[in-house]
Structure 1
Amino acid sequence: MTETLFAPSPRSVESGLYIVATPIGNLRDITLRALDVLRAADIILCEDTRVTGKLLSAYDLKKPLLRYDDHAGPRVIPEVVERLKGGAVVAQVSDAGTPLISDPGFRLVNAALEAGAKVHPLPGASAVMAALCLAGLPTDRFMFAGFVPNKSAARQTFFSDFQHLAATVVMFETGPRLNDSLKDMFTVLGDREAAVCRELTKLYETCVRGRLSELVTNPALMEPKGEIVVLIGPAEASVPSENDLEEALKAALTDMPPSEAAAKIAARFNLPRKDVYKRALELKA
């Protein structure tokens, strides 16, 4: 069969551990290389055998499945390492998206590398990347923060880490907790630009954009169903007063050397480090 750009022949797959991204909704968002690996795999590690079974069935694949998550990891990892030493092709998938992104897997990767096995990442679908492309917020710098804590006090502490972060923050949340989370974001971070993406790549994909004050009162975001990604825009630049800068530096200098204090305060106020360091030296003197 002659290979073409649109229908390349299946490629051979060498032994090793393959971290395989799978669709987050639309089953056609799987790569040809991912299908090559799944077709060649001696065993597939997955979070839920039922979910992965549906994916394999859609592509007429039948493979041995082994449940792998944080609970099963200590039992499964030694078995997987032995298979890799024997030259097996092992594929790891998550229920949706890219494994290891808020999913178990890094311990397995470390064990495979320590055993001398090759590890191959297969890029593909990711809710984080899809949401960034859709939200219309700055993408030159972003931080993935994972899942939002359940309780309000823990959430507010969690959000406080982003008060001065000059980057878009991406996080996962559930429908029943979404409105409470948006209220805590508004309380801690102020009226930032934000976006709520739901059911990415699926039939009812939506993205609601606006200020947090608008999103908090939006009826569509009270208890939406489906998988949800929340994005918060970067902290808006503000020029601190001379007194604010001096007080912050004095506090930092009580238990830090000038260079470390300057780095911390420069990042906090989004100021040039050399200027803050110069002021720190003056105060220290």
Structure 2
Amino acid sequence: MIYFCPTPIGNLEDITLRTLRVLRESDIIFAEDTRVTLKLLNHYDIKKKLYSYQKFNESEVSEDIIKYNEDGLNICLVTDAGMPGISDPGEVLVKKLIEENIDFRVLPGPNAALTALVGSGLNTENFYFKGFTSPKSSARKKELEAIKDLKATIIFYEAPHRVLDFLRDLLEIFGDREISISRELTKIYEETIRGKISEILQGNLKVKGEFVIICHGKEDEEIKLDIEDLLREKILKGISKSQAVKEIVKEYNLSKNYIYKESLKLDV
């Protein structure tokens, strides 16, 4: 069997009994960083063969894993922290296994996104996981523009050396929304800060550790105001109200009935 094993995101005690058993019973363990995984295995006195499985060699090593599996070996895939395949290597192997009709198991366990989401105080009923955005500001802003109108809570990951630039871009594109920032989750210096984006930027945010940013979704009132502005802007440029409706529906992939009703409220 091939197992995808979540590993602790900080505190080494956050690992399931099942995962420990599977790791002990495995023949080979493939790891994102063998040095990081070795610390975990040593902590639980697990001695196994370790091989590298990174985003740079996923396709090649996935074929090796399949061959080991065909030889009757039990294989585990782990990443440095959290769930394999979520902003970490693993997705390529899953797709190959499905394509070749090879059975596998994904074990439940630690995940930074859900841990931070529950502690954020923001809506957990509907949420969108974005993960890492582009390290370049221009590309990042385009990514943010594409999701700024989502009503769902949005989850981001960010590295410490980019988090302030990310927050500045988030403020520019999303406006001053409520957010929650968690860092060093499950570790000694775990910290969660909640408030408006501008407030957090003006505060003394410690830029150490990996960050999870939970962002409030867009309110219906915000969308309504934006639609009115967009309609008015187009109509003032000389096009008809009906044409303005058509263009906005197409450009923003919105309901035609909703945009039409909003257009009836305009005084232009």
TM-score, with length taken from structure 1: 0.81
Matching residue of 1:6 = none
Q: 1:69 to 1:187 in 2, by over 3 A?
A: same
Q: Secondary structure at the match of 2:186?
A: coil
- Please list every run of 5 or more consecutive structure 2 residues that lacks an aligned counterpart in the other structure: 235-240, 264-268
Q: Which amino acid aligns with 1:123?
A: P
Partner of 1:73: 58
Any idea what the Cα deviations from partners look like across 1:18-71, whole Å, max 9, x if unmatched? Answer: 111110001111001101110111111111100000000111000111100122
Do residues 227 (structure 1) and 227 (structure 2) align? no
Report how far residue 111 of structure 1 moved.
1.8
User: 2:266 maps to what in 1?
Assistant: none
Deviation at 1:242, TM superposition (A): 5.9
Query: Which residue is equivalent to 1:264?
Result: 253
2:243 to 238, 250, 254: 250
Q: 1:22 to 1:252 in 2, by over 3 A?
A: farther
- Alpha-carbon separation, structure 1, partners of 2:140 and 2:132: 10
CA contact (8 A) 1:143 1:170 kept: yes
The two structures, once aligned, show a CA RMSD in angstroms of: 2.5
After superposition, the Cα gap between the structure-2 partners of 1:165 and 1:37, relative to the gap in structure 1 and judged at 3 Å, is same
Partner of 2:220: 237
Give the Å deviation of 1:157: 1.3
* 8 Å Cα contact 2:179-2:194 kept in structure 1: yes
Taking the TM superposition and a 5 Å limit, the aligned residue runs for 1:199-238 are: 199-221=184-206, 224-238=207-221
Counterparts of 1:119 and 1:137 in 2: how far apart (Å)? 34
1: CA distance between counterparts of 2:64 and 2:78?
A: 17
CA separation of 1:175 and 1:242: change in aligned 2, threshold 3 A: closer
For 1:158 and 1:33, locate their aligned partners in 2 and report how far apart those are by CA, in whole Å: 38
Which blocks of at least 5 consecutive residues in structure 1 are unaligned? 1-15, 267-272, 281-285
Q: CA deviation at 1:146?
A: 1.5
Structure 1 residue 157 and structure 2 residue 150: aligned? no
Q: In structure 1, what is the Cα distance between the partners aligned to 2:258 and 2:139?
A: 35
Deviation, structure 1 residue 78: 1.7
Tell me the alpha carbon deviations over residues 209-265 of structure 1, each in whole angstroms, 9 at most, x when there is no partner.
Answer: 0001101111224xx1111111111112223466745969736746x9xxx859921
- Provide the residue aligned with 1:95 in structure 2: 80
Would the aligned equivalents of 1:98 and 1:124 in 2 still touch at CA under 8 Å?
yes
Give SS of 1:130's match: helix
Query: In the TM superposition, what whole-angstrom CA distance separates every residue of 1:124-179 from its partner, at most 9, and x where no partner exists?
Result: 00000111011111111111112122122122112112221101111111112211
Q: What CA distance in whole angstroms lies between the structure 1 residues aligned with 2:245 and 2:259?
A: 12
Three-state SS of the structure 2 residue aligned to 1:175 is coil
Match of 2:109 in 1: 124
What is the TM-score with the length of structure 2 in the denominator? 0.86
| Separation of aligned partners in 2, 1:27 and 1:40 | 19
Look up the SS of the partner of 1:176 in the other structure.
coil
CA distance in 1, matches of 2:61, 2:91: 13
Counterpart code for 1:167? A
1:192 aligns with 2:185: no
What per-residue deviation string (whole Å, max 9, x for no partner) do you get for residues 90-144 of structure 1?
1111100000001121121122233332110101000001110111111111111
Matched, 1:25 2:10: yes
Q: Which amino acid aligns with 1:231?
A: I
